[in-house]
Structure 1
Amino acid sequence: MDNIDQQLIAQLRHNARASVATLAKRLGVSRGTVTNRIRKLEDSGLIVGYTVRLRPEAESAGLMAWMSISIEGNDARRVIASLLGEPGVSSLHSTNGQWDLLAELQVTSLAELAHVLERVRLIKGIHNTETSIHLETYRTPLGKGEKLASA
């Protein structure tokens, strides 16, 4: 992966719906180059999909929870692959300290959360978990063009 691939990925992270022409102009390369590089990044498995991000208040129906996960021995790759395939896991992060992974869970109900927790706990290689239900957000990352209000 070279500098152009890294810049392309950064542009796609910012706006995955940007046209090939727009991406080519921003990167200073041809549309064919952008198309070929996107295809190669997808074929290699580096880009695994595209998604929609909503404002937190737009997703009023549902629950979010955080699951801290401890992994047994050298099973990290298998556990991560299994968690990435779990529909209830919306994001997954490696951490340091007591826990190996932090999974953000998105579900529609407590019953669905119970099912997700049960499935996750059955994954071979998971030693221990601890789950906290998200209650309220006090600060979110600033969007493009937003500024903190001055006091």
Structure 2
Amino acid sequence: MDDTDRQLISLLRDDGRASVASLAKSLRVSRGTVQNRQARLEADGTIVGYTVRLKPLAENHRIRALMTVSVEGNRIDQVIRDLRGDPAVSALHTTNGRWDIVAELRADSLEAFDAVLGRVRLLDGIANTETSLLLSTYKL
């Protein structure tokens, strides 16, 4: 991957629906170059898909939070498997340092969010959690 590939990925992150012509103009390369690079990045698995980003207020799940999770012993695979099965968990990230996992949580109401916290905290293998509600978003 070279600088042109990285710039192409950056442009696609900003607008996954950008036309090949506009990408080529921004990168100062031919349309064929953009098409070939995009196809190669998709074929080699660097680009795995395209998605839609919604404004936070446009989503049904208005309560959003980050939960940091400490896992007992070597049970991280089991905990991740269990968390992936919960519909309120929108993303999982393994980390280094004090916490083993960061889970992004979503719920429709505070009551529903309380239920999510209760379910997650009861999972086998979880030693400790800390949760922070996301109040405002400044960059999407």
- Which residue does the alignment assign to 1:12? 12
Please state if 1:140 is matched with 2:122.
Answer: no
For residue 38 of structure 1, give the secondary structure of its aligned residue in structure 2. Answer: helix
Greater Cα shift, 25-34 or 87-96? 87-96
**Separation of aligned partners in 2, 1:6 and 1:31:** 16
Q: CA deviation at 1:100?
A: 2.8
Q: CA deviation at 1:129?
A: 5.3
The percent identity for this pair of structures is 47
**Separation of aligned partners in 1, 2:84 and 2:19:** 28
- Which residue does the alignment assign to 2:50? 50
CA deviation string 1:86-129 (max 9, x = no partner) = 76543444544311332212345628x74xx55xx57xxx6545
Structure 1 residues 64 and 42, CA gap change in structure 2 (3 angstroms): same
For residue 36 of structure 1, give the secondary structure of its aligned residue in structure 2. Answer: helix
Q: CA deviation at 1:64?
A: 2.1
- Which residue does the alignment assign to 1:69? 69
1:97-108 equivalences under 5 Å are 97-108=97-108
For residue 129 of structure 2, give the secondary structure of its aligned residue in structure 1. Answer: strand
**Any conservation in 1 of the 2:79–2:126 contact (CA below 8 Å)?**
no
**Separation of aligned partners in 2, 1:25 and 1:91:** 34
- Which residue does the alignment assign to 1:130? 129
User: RMSD across aligned C-alpha pairs, in angstroms?
Assistant: 3.8
TM-score for the superposition, normalised by structure 2: 0.67
Structure 1 residues 86 and 51, CA gap change in structure 2 (3 angstroms): farther
**Separation of aligned partners in 2, 1:83 and 1:58:** 25
**Any conservation in 2 of the 1:69–1:127 contact (CA below 8 Å)?**
yes
**Any conservation in 1 of the 2:91–2:104 contact (CA below 8 Å)?**
yes
For residue 70 of structure 2, give the secondary structure of its aligned residue in structure 1. Answer: strand
What amino acid is the match of 1:14?
A: D
Runs of at least 5 residues in structure 2 that lack an aligned partner in the other structure: none
Q: CA deviation at 1:59?
A: 1.9
How many corresponding residue pairs?
A: 136
**Separation of aligned partners in 2, 1:14 and 1:100:** 30
For residue 51 of structure 2, give the secondary structure of its aligned residue in structure 1. Answer: coil
